Chain A
Amino acid sequence: MLFAVFLPALLAIFIPYLSKWKEKIHTGYFVLLAPLAVFIYFVSFVGGDFEPVTQNYNWIPSLNIGFDFYLDGLSLLFALLISGIGSLVAFYSIFYLHKTERLDQFYVYLLLFMTAMFGVVLSDNVFVLYSFWELTSISSFLLIGYWNYKERSRYGALKSMLITVFGGLSMLGGFILLTMITETTSIQEMIAQADVILSHEYFGLIMALILLGAFTKSAQFPFHIWLPDAMEAPTPVSAYLHSATMVKAGIFLVARFTPILSQSEWFFVFVSGIGILTLVWGSYMAVRQTDLKGILAFSTISQLGMIMAMLGFGTSAAIFGAVFHILNHATFKGSLFMVAGIVDHESGTRDIRKLGGLATLMPISATLAFFGTFSMAGVPLPFLNGFYSKEMFFDASIELESSSLMIAELLRTAIPYLAVFGSIFTFVYSMYLVFGTFMGKKKLEQLPKKPHEAPIGMLVPPIILVLGVIIIGILPETFNGNLLAHAAEAIYGAPVDKHIQFWHGWITPLYMSLAVVVIGAILAFVRKSWSGIYSFFPGKLSFNKAYDFIVDQLEKTSARITNSYMNGSLRRYMVLILSAILIVTFTFIGLTGGFAWDTSNLAEITVHEVVIALAMAIAAIATIFTNNKIGAILILGVVGYGLALLFVVYRAPDLALTQLVVETITVALFLLCFYHLPNLRVRTDSVFEKTTNIIISIGFGALMTVVAISAHSTKLFDTISSYFVENSYKLGGGDNVVNVTLVDIRGIDTLFEIVVLGIAALAIYGMIKLRHKKGAK
């Protein structure tokens, strides 16, 4: 199974070499092999007596992370979808993408995406699942932005990246919490501990985080906005990622964690509530679109909402319906995207207002579209699979379990009506899609190209998918026993026995379906007369505007915040740094009671020490108030000499020597550069600035004094200097303890001080000698 997952990624390594021959043989033919092989491999598992398969491969054993693959019915269904539709899409793209395109990049991204999706659906380890999850986000980002010279492509790619990665990260948070609570990284072991998780205080947070990940990935309300913009991708990508596979990753996630999460009553409220809202909103908005792929994008959103709602219902029938609809949606939506791509390819536009009457020119595509859309609309015909799952949806929506939560009860009453409402609009846009494109007047003069039927290679994949629609429609029981029942069982946790049949008798769901068809047909027929409501609702209230506003405001606000303190003034930065030190240190001293006052260790004070210290203090204060730059340096010289004198008085001849030399050289250096410096400016600080300066400088001085006093009063142990004094001659061979310390005991320090001086010298030399003219490199 490891090989099956990584086969596409392995092949991706060779794609750049293979694409060198793209003039002779289209690179897509090589690519086709990988999903086809994986598909055949997974088909071998299908059967009535299927049992879950577990395979473990080590990755990071110390962190309990490994490629633990777990193939149950749910994973198998998804793996078959990914590999099967992957093969068809690869085949379709051979005819869709011209050889002049950058085929190598396209197929590398596509194969990476396949590996990522296989990883997502097969991983049992949450962290591996998350890794693959992010890989799908990244490869999808690359695929959406495939035509990166288009501004809209880049916008769509960035938008989908931001939203899905936002969700992915929150999902990671949920996973980490789950791992902490259960002390395992395996999903199956977590499911075994579901009651522990359920009773844990973090359960609400876990559910919110994981659902956030699922909702963003599956384009649920209000995170659906990235999907319509992702339609800038090449059509094979839209067909594959944005109808059949990636957007179902969120569905998969919810389904996978249903055994844990669905035990909470809120699961129904969130998942079904958001799902039904997405269904209604998506189908409502789809009618408004004029772009074929735009309609399909909102249609996908609404269908995903329907699946999500069914997962939230949590009854055995609903889960079976959800699983069934996952399969159905992948077939008909894949074929519809491919037909939209064919129309675009052959007529040069996807704008439904310019299209019309193509049925006679493109009879095969038109037929395919008829099947796809009628299945999507849920028209009650015995050979359309969409009808069955829609019927199951209605069936499940009226048989909801009652709940103690009031909001859940409210939702329970509203859901059947909302379901019918959403389905009516689904019917409307489906009819609009197919009749607007293929029926009506021909408008050939508006089309950039003269439309004609697509090449046979381009038609094969949608034909296969439509055949899938019909076969599932005619023989649903074949799929039920071998595939769907296992998947539903994996979600529900107990065997589900649900027989799919066309005729149930005169029961409520059938009336609901008939109502949808009748009202939908009427609404579709008089669509022009009521489409004006879209200017009132949503009108300006679009979530795209909200997204743009948020992104724009984030950039502006962060720029404003950054500019507010990063104003380039050194004074401002010093104020910030010093106040931070002041506040932190004083608070810390105050909180911990760190101040200490101990006079037992103090030495006698002599008169001359006091006088020297006073002289230095006066000189230091005088420096601040002088306006003459040479005067300032000379007064500062007093401080330097005073310090040297203190060193003498405190018996530190080496320090005194060094201090004197350095002081003199500093004064000389100042004199050297004074010639080039401007005169001391008369300071024109405002009162506020002056006050801050004074407060901070006095505060900082006080702080240092307090710290010094406390440090001196807190002697926790003896100094080690007695060792130096005793051993400087014995071990170092010198009387001068300071010098022995500098070159023997702590020679390394001295070495690097010398290095510092060397670097400084070189830097000064470089600064003076290597003067570049402005603007020159």
Chain B
Amino acid sequence: MSEFASFLPDLISVITVICMVVVTISITILLYRVVKGPTNPDRAVALDAIGINLMAMAGLVAILLTSTQLNDVILLIGILLFIGTIALAKYLEKGVIIDRNRD
């Protein structure tokens, strides 16, 4: 048990690094979709997914650094991603973001 306890921090960091590599690979693959993606909605979705990966990445880095400083970042990415994706979606759908003359 004590052996395991002493092994634990190392294990966590190893797993975290493995996760980070996986997330970066996932970002790279998403990048293919962004660059290639035959239509703009494809790109928009891919960018949104990259944002989610960023959240994961920030969380993993926070674990690795044993820090709580990055929690704000994670939340902020969530909000911004939402806003950005909505704006994109609206633009792709209607061509404008802010409607005028509602009536």
B-binding residues in A (CB < 8 A): 606-608, 611-612, 614-615, 618-619, 622, 626, 628, 630-631, 634-635, 637-638, 641-642, 644-645, 648-649, 651, 653, 656-657, 660-661, 664, 667-668, 671-672, 674-675
Contacts and interface: CB of A to CB of B under 8 A. Distances in A.
Contacts of B83: 664, 668
A668 B84 contact: yes
A660 B34 CA distance: 18
Given A674-B91, A675-B96, 17 more contacts: A608-B17, A608-B23, A615-B28, A619-B35, A626-B35, A631-B37, A631-B43, A634-B43, A635-B34, A635-B35, A644-B77, A651-B67, A651-B69, A656-B58, A656-B73, A660-B76, A671-B88
Given A634-B34, A667-B87, A675-B95, A628 B40 contact: yes
Nearest to B75: A657
Contact of A630 (B23, B24, B35, B40): B40
A635 B21 CA distance: 22
B22 to A, nearest CB: 9
Nearest to B23: A608
Given A671-B87, A671-B88, A657 B43 contact: no
B54 A641 contact: yes
B74 to A, nearest CB: 9
A618 B35 contact: yes
Most buried by B among A626, A628, A644, A648: A648
Interface in B51-96: 51, 54, 57-58, 61, 65, 67, 69-70, 72-73, 76-77, 80-81, 83-84, 87-88, 91-92, 95-96
Contacts, number: 112
B70 A653 contact: yes
A608 B23 CA distance: 8
Interface residues of B, number: 42
Contacts of B96: 675
Contact of B40 (A631, A641, A642): A631
Given A615-B31, A637-B47, A638-B47, A660 B24 contact: no
A505 B50 CA distance: 116
A627 to B, nearest CB: 12
A389 to B, nearest CB: 93
10 contacts: A611-B24, A611-B28, A630-B91, A634-B43, A637-B84, A638-B47, A648-B54, A653-B70, A657-B73, A657-B76
B98 interface: yes
A645 B47 contact: no
Most buried by A among B67, B72, B77: B77
Interface string B20-50: 1101110110010011010010011001001
A657 B34 contact: no
A607 B84 contact: no
A1 to B, nearest CB: 80
A631 B91 CA distance: 13
Contact of B31 (A638, A651, A657): A638
A745 B81 CA distance: 33
B97 interface: yes
A770 to B, nearest CB: 19
A660 B25 contact: no
Nearest to B59: A648
Contacts of B27: 611-612, 615, 642, 645
A660 B73 contact: yes
B47 to A, nearest CB: 5
Contacts of A648: 54, 57-58, 61, 70, 73
B97 to A, nearest CB: 6
A615 B17 CA distance: 18
B28 A651 contact: no
Given A611-B28, A634-B34, A675-B96, A657 B65 contact: no
A619 B34 contact: yes
Contacts of A656: 58, 70, 73
A672 B98 contact: yes
Given A608-B21, A648-B73, A618 B80 contact: no
Contacts of B72: 653, 657
A303 to B, nearest CB: 85
Nearest to A735: B69
B97 A672 contact: yes
B35 A622 contact: yes
